[in-house]
Each structure stands twice: as structure tokens, then as C-alpha cells.
Amino acid sequence: MISEDRSTTVAGISRPRAGGLPAPLALAGALLMALLLAMAGLASPAAHAASQQAASPLAGHHSKYNFSRIAYTGSRIVIAGTDSTGDLYMFWQKQGTPAWHRERVARGGRGHRYAKPSIAWTGHAVAIAAVNTSGDLFYFAQPQGHSGWTHRELGTASGGKYGAPSIAAVADGPILISAARNSGKLASFELASSSSGWTKTTVASGNFGAPSIITCFDSLISQNLALITAPAGGTLDFWWERLDHTGWNQETVSNGASGVTFTGATLAATNKTILLTTSLNIGAVLEFAQAIGGSGWAGQTVAVGPGSTIYRNPQIAWTGATDGNPVSYDVITATTGDGSLVFWWADDGSTNSWTEETIASSGKHAAYANPGIAITSKSVVISVINSKPGNVEFWLQKFTTTPWREQLVAKG
């Protein structure tokens, strides 16, 4: 994928992952065709999980929450959320304590309600990107040790409305945001270290779904990289950029198959490998992987989603070493069409199949949507909206344990 001459690889053919993980299928297209054939006959893995609830409702709020994303600062778990009035919030919890705290980042109003936030830790500040109902793109930041929020409008809807943004940062380095416009452009914004001005770049032209942006370190060239993925109907694309140079390089992860479209995609990175998860209109969830500095994408089926099970909004993360154990895991969360919250894990760098757990089932008082996932020093953490009451909920599973623990972050 990433080389010093910055050449572009069209990645249709799978190859072994770094660390010895062979591609289960030779072609990304063949992977999708196999899914189509399997839809009628395969059942999803058996699911089981226990939960414990500790309520923290943050009283005094009377609007339903509708979206959340989660991040970890090294000492605090932070969640960005919006509600039905368009207000933008941050919720935070000091790691290892039960109490959740709420701050209103920005008040929504007629014509400019905030929506679809993304949150990241920059090394010195909590950073949030969000859009409003007019399609304008905004950036908010709260430096460490401060209580107020700064904000800046990065882009207006005059050239096309912005959709759901994604934000990432190099620790104490550049901050990056990506968002697609309904005018047919995928854009990136970069705030360089010690700079007050944002640089806007057109990454690609096309009708893209919501992008995912992350950063990683390429040890082969000793440089930080910015990475983006975004679906465009039946095509899944990927872009990379060296942060010491200007210019995005495009790859095709998969051209799909007849009747198959990609409905979402997110990125994560290990110290050696780029991980990408995506969902399909036929209900399946896939993972693709590529060695940092390598070429070609290896694909795996995470879950087929037969019958009425349609998986939505998958989000991926990598645990790193767990409790001093060198074994690490790729982890994915998603929701189902009927509103259950599910989770998969697999040993990183192995050929083992994915293990599925149902974190929380849908029911009379529960329908889960829009999950986010992050990794702390001890646990996998997930934020999610229970759309029936409009609550923000938080789920935690400590490394190498099976129970999921639930907390009510904020009541809608």
C-alpha cells in the first residue's frame, strides 16, 4: 500500500496479513459472492453475555439523545452526543470511577441543530467534529485543564452539504477531519502542530458515504500517516497520505459484487496492520486488513447476517496487549436491524474465526443504534443510544473477562 514513491495499488487480490494471517479468500469479489451464496443457509454465531447496571442518569435533561461516539484520553472516557433539540454534549468519566459528568459543548437552535459528532483525544485537548442541519461543518476543542470550549466553522454548505464527519489526531501533532459532501466531494481538513489555520483538501470526487479517518505510524519510512476509508455504493475505497507531504493516494479495497453495496466502513490500526470493517446491504459484516507498508487487502467474513438479521454501523478497534499478555484482539461492535447491540472479537494475526456476543437484546424498552467503540488501558468500552427512551448508555468489558457491565450515562 504505502511506499516511498507513493504509487497507488488497486487492491482486489488478497494476500497474507503481517504476522502470518492468510487471506481466507483469494479475491475480495469472491468473498462477497460467497456471502451471497451463504445468506440463506448460515446462522450467526451463538451469542451470550451477562450485564450489570449502574445508573447515572444526569437529571435535568428532557430531550432524547440520538447519536454518540466515544474516545479515551489516557485518564478519562469521553463521549460526544447530540439530542433531539440539536444540542451538542460531552460526557466524561474518570477511569475507574462510576460517576458520569455532562457538559454542553454547543446549544442547537432553529436551522443549526448539531448532529453526528465524532470525538478524539489530541494529546492535549478533547476535539469534536460535528455538522448542523444546514450541512455546515464545525470543530470544537477543550484543552486539558480547561472548562470552556473553543469552536470554529470549517466549511459551509454553500458548495454542498457536509455529512457525518470523522476526526483523528497524532498525539500532540496534527488534527485531521474528513467529511463527504452531497455535491460529490470527499474532503479532508488538517490543523498542523502549532498552527491556527486549517488546510482543506479535496480527497476524491464521487458520491461517498460517511468516511472514517485515523492516523498511524509507518515504521518503514518513520513517518505518521493519515488514512481514510469511505463507501460509494458498490465500491469500497481507501486513501492514505504521509503527513510530511501533501496529497492523498487512492486504493480500491473491493469493487463488490452484483447487487451488493457497502453501507458503512470504519478504520483502526495495530502497530503493524491497518484494519477496516464494513457492512453490506445484504446484512453481512466483513473485515479487511493490510500490513502497514504493504499492498493488497485480505478479507474475512465476520458475520453473515442470515434471515432477518441485518447488521448496521460496525465500528472497529484494536486492544493492544491485554493485561501484560502479548496477545491482542481485533474487536468490532454493531447493531442489528431489530435493535440489538452485538460484539465480535478475534485474535489479532490469527486465522481463528470471530466470536460473537450479544451485549444487549432489543425489546419493549430497548432498541440500540449508533454505537461507538474505544479501548482504554484495561477494557473495551462502547457507547450506544437506546433509541426507545433516548438514553446514552455505556458498556464495558475488562480484558480477558466475559461479563459486560452497563452504565446509564444520561437519560433522555
Tell me: the pLDDT tens digits for 35-85?
544 443 333 322 323 333 344 468 777 799 999 999 999 999 999 999 999
Q: What is the pLDDT of residues 122-155, one digit of tens each?
A: 999 999 999 999 999 999 999 998 889 999 999 9
* Rounded mean pLDDT, 193-212: 94
Residue 196: pLDDT band by 50, 70, 90 thresholds?
A: confident
What local confidence, expressed as pLDDT, does residue 11 receive? 31
- Taking only the tens place, the pLDDT of each residue in 150-177 is 999 999 999 999 999 999 999 999 999 9
**For range 264-277, the mean pLDDT:** 97
Q: What is the mean pLDDT of residues 340-354?
A: 89
Query: pLDDT-derived band of residue 29, with 50, 70 and 90 as boundaries?
Result: low
The yes-or-no verdict on residue 32 having pLDDT over 60 is no
- Express each pLDDT in 242-251 by its tens digit: 999 889 999 9
Of the chain, the percentage scoring pLDDT greater than 70 comes to 85
More confident residue, 253 or 9: 253
What pLDDT sits at residue 302? 96
Torsions phi, psi of 29, nearest 5?
Answer: -65, -40
Share of the chain above pLDDT 90, in %: 74
Confidence of residue 319 (pLDDT cuts 50, 70, 90): very high
Q: Mean pLDDT lowest for which of 109-113, 198-202, 329-333?
A: 109-113
Banded pLDDT at 306 (limits 50, 70, 90): low
- Sorting pLDDT into bands at 50, 70 and 90, what band is 110? confident
Name the pairing type of β-strands 298-303 and 355-360: unpaired
Region 275-279 average pLDDT: 97
Name every residue whose Cβ is closer than 8 Å to that of residue 378 and which is 6 or more positions away in sequence: 95, 323, 398, 399
What is the CB-side half-sphere exposure of residue 336 using CA atoms within 13 A?
A: 24
Strand arrangement of the beta sheet that strand 329-336 belongs to: 311-318, 329-336, 341-347, 355-360
Question: Taking the alpha carbons of 115, 211, 266, 43 in that order, is the dihedral positive or negative?
Answer: positive
- Whether the predicted pLDDT of 408 surpasses 50: yes
Contacts of residue 219, Cβ cutoff 8 Å, sequence gap at least 6: 292, 293
pLDDT at residue 185 greater than cutoff 50 = yes
21: confidence class by pLDDT, cuts 50, 70, 90: very low
- As a whole number, the mean pLDDT across the chain is 86
pLDDT digits (tens, 9 = 90+) for 211-234: 999 999 999 999 999 999 999 999
Question: Which CATH number among 2.60.120.590, 3.30.360.10, 2.40.160.10, 2.120.10.70 corresponds to the domain 28-410?
Answer: 2.120.10.70
By residue count, the chain amounts to 412
pLDDT at 245: 87
